[in-house]
Structure 1
Amino acid sequence: MQAILMRGPGGPEVLERQEVAIPAIESPTEILVRLHAAGVNPIDTKLRSRGVLIQDGLPAVLGCDGAGVVEAVGAEVTRFKPGDEVWFCHGGLGGPVGNYADYIVVDSAIAQPKPRTIDFATTAAAPLVLITAWEALYDRARLLEGQTVLIHAGAGGVGHVAIQLARLAGARVCTTVSTPEKAAFVHELGAECAINYREEDLVEVVMDWTQGQGVDVAFDTVGPAVFRQTIPAVAHYGDLVTILDPGPELELREARNRNLRLSLELMLTPMLRDLPLARARQCEILRRCGELIDRGELRIHVSQTFPLAEAAQAHRVLEEGHVQGKLALTVADD
């Protein structure tokens, strides 16, 4: 089969198409999936440039998100049969298991039936961002109906689904964007207020929008500087969740004075630490999101797709920082 391998960290050029053996089912609960598409996420570019997370994990096949058709099943698999369409978040952190390839073997408990109403590329783009946004808003921040939410980078991969999940919970949403085009996009998704961070003062706009109270929940998807900038925009006793390391030099006096609840969200933890119950919870999130997608209540925006052989170019585009929604690799024809 064809796979995109990285043999060492570096720029996009380290991603090379190679011929490798089709993985074999080794456990009676596993399934072999013929991939049709793979999602491209910022974690992929970070692992490519800095090194993988699995010890002795080179050469590696990147790609945490996949969607495809079951080719074969282990002796104890009852949930799926050959020909079933599935999606999942598995692998891509180091070693040979990843979705930038023609095939992957996953445990059947990790996969979910693919949403019926969207294609493989859109499906493959979704798992990591959906689980991240769901856990951040619903599990970490414990979002409630009627609350106000600030979502940073609302036109991005995580941000654009976070807006929708917040609205589905009955919350009011404001978000940050960098262009009028992205502002129009997030309004379509349900955001009431789009803050152009290049031209407007974040705290000033948020306070005006919330009548001086600050938002009940803030979700940082950008990094340390934005995390610090957001603290005075959160209401007293509010929640601030980040998906990134807030950094070693963090002044939390104002956060403490506001009695904020600070939370860290890393959806990769169950995979990195081998936590079966947490992985089962994430699979249930995918199942519920699939239902929302098929009911037309949740939208996944894929702005561009690339053939598997052009994975390096997909990384270049993602690292430019202007992607609206998600990118995906097409591995096989739908």
Structure 2
Amino acid sequence: MKAVLMTTPGAPDVLQLRDVPAPTLQQDTELLVRLKAAGVNPIDTKLRKRGTFFPDRLPAILGCDGAGIVEAVGAGVQQFQPGDEVYFCNGGLGGHPGNYAEWAIVDARFAARKPTTISFAEAAAAPLVLITAWEALYDRARLQAGQRVLIHAGTGGVGHIAIQLANLRGAEVCTTVSTEAKAVFARDLGASQVLFYKDVDVAQAVVNWTHGQGVDVTFDTVGGAVLGQSFAATKFYGDVVTILEADPTTDWKTARTRNQRVSFELMLLPMLKGLVVQQQAQANILQQCAQLIDAGQLRLHISQTFALAEAAAAHRSLEAGSTIGKLVLLIDP
């Protein structure tokens, strides 16, 4: 089969299309999936630059997100059969092969049926960002109807899903953007307040928006100094959730003196640590999101698609910044 191999850490050009043996079923719980598309995420570019979590297993196939058609099932699989369309977040961290390839093996317990109303490209763009936003807002922050939430970078991959999930929960959304085009997109997704973070003091603007109280929940998808700034935008006893490591210079005093609950959302943890129950829970999130997507209540935005052989170009585009929504590799258009 054709697959994009990372032979060594480095610039995007280390990603090369090669012929490799096609995978075969090894366990009773596995699916053999003919991939139609693969999502491209920031974690892919980070692993390409610095090395995977399993540096002794090069070459590696990157790509956590995939969507395709089940070709064969293990003897113990009951919920899927050949011909079923599935999507999932599995592999791509340097251990289990990822989805920059024509075929993939995925445990049936970690896959979900693809939403019927969207393309394979849209489905492949979805899993990581759906699970991340869902876990951050619903599980970590326990977002409730009537609350106000600040979502940093609301037009990014995770952010544009988070705005929609917050609205579906009945929350009011404020988000940050860098351009007028992104502001228009954020409002179309359901954000009621849009801040140009380059032009305003975000924390003060949020405090003004909430009549001096601060938001109930802040979701940091940016990292760096943004986490520290988020504390000042969040009310006493509020929640702050981040998907990135805290900056070493982060001043935690504001969070402490406001009795805020600070949570970390690393959605790849179950895959990294082999936490089967949590991986099954993430597949259940995908099942619930598929229902929302098919009901027209949740949508994925793809900024650009690339052929499988153009994986390096996709990485360059993502690293250039300013992407609205997601980038996707089309494997079998």
TM-score range, shorter chain: over 0.9
Does structure 1 conserve the Cα–Cα contact (< 8 Å) formed by 2:53 and 2:95? Answer: no
Gaps of 5+ in 1: none
2-side partners of 1:247 and 1:190: how far apart? 30
Does structure 1 conserve the Cα–Cα contact (< 8 Å) formed by 2:219 and 2:240? Answer: yes
Relative distance call for 1:96 and 1:29 in structure 2 (3 A) is: closer
2-side partners of 1:72 and 1:143: how far apart? 40
2-side partners of 1:127 and 1:57: how far apart? 25
After superposition, give the CA deviation of every residue in 1:38-61 in whole Å (9 maximum; x if it has no partner): 000000000000100125231100
- 1:255 is paired with a residue of what secondary structure? helix
Residue number in structure 2 paired with 1:104: 104
Match for 2:27: what amino acid? S
1:207 corresponds to 2:207: yes
Identity of aligned residues (%): 60
- 2:216 is paired with a residue of what secondary structure? strand
Does structure 1 conserve the Cα–Cα contact (< 8 Å) formed by 2:65 and 2:127? Answer: yes
TM-aligned CA deviation for residue 98 of structure 1: 0.5
Residue number in structure 2 paired with 1:58: 58
Match for 2:161: what amino acid? V
1:24 corresponds to 2:33: no
1:262 corresponds to 2:254: no
1:227 corresponds to 2:227: yes
Residue number in structure 2 paired with 1:179: 179
2-side partners of 1:192 and 1:204: how far apart? 17
Greater displacement, 53-62 / 282-291: 53-62
After superposition, give the CA deviation of every residue in 1:74-127 in whole Å (9 maximum; x if it has no partner): 112111111110000000000461000000011111111110000000000000
TM-score normalised by length of structure 1: 0.98
TM-aligned CA deviation for residue 231 of structure 1: 1.2
2-side partners of 1:325 and 1:250: how far apart? 28
1-side partners of 2:240 and 2:41: how far apart? 23
Residue number in structure 2 paired with 1:300: 300
Greater displacement, 166-175 / 248-257: 248-257
2-side partners of 1:96 and 1:130: how far apart? 21
Does structure 2 conserve the Cα–Cα contact (< 8 Å) formed by 1:25 and 1:32? Answer: yes
> What is the Cα-based RMSD across aligned positions, in Å?
0.8
2-side partners of 1:57 and 1:211: how far apart? 54
2-side partners of 1:103 and 1:229: how far apart? 43
2-side partners of 1:55 and 1:225: how far apart? 30
Match for 2:321: what amino acid? G
Detail structure 1 runs of 4+ shifted over 4 Å in the superposition.
none
Gaps of 5+ in 2: none
Residue number in structure 1 paired with 2:247: 247
1:121 corresponds to 2:128: no
- 1:60 is paired with a residue of what secondary structure? coil
2-side partners of 1:136 and 1:276: how far apart? 19
Match for 2:179: what amino acid? T
1-side partners of 2:95 and 2:56: how far apart? 8
After superposition, give the CA deviation of every residue in 1:7-47 in whole Å (9 maximum; x if it has no partner): 11001000000000000100111110000000000000000
TM-score normalised by length of structure 2: 0.99
1-side partners of 2:205 and 2:248: how far apart? 28
1:41 corresponds to 2:70: no
Query: Aligned residues, how many?
Result: 333
2-side partners of 1:251 and 1:153: how far apart? 21
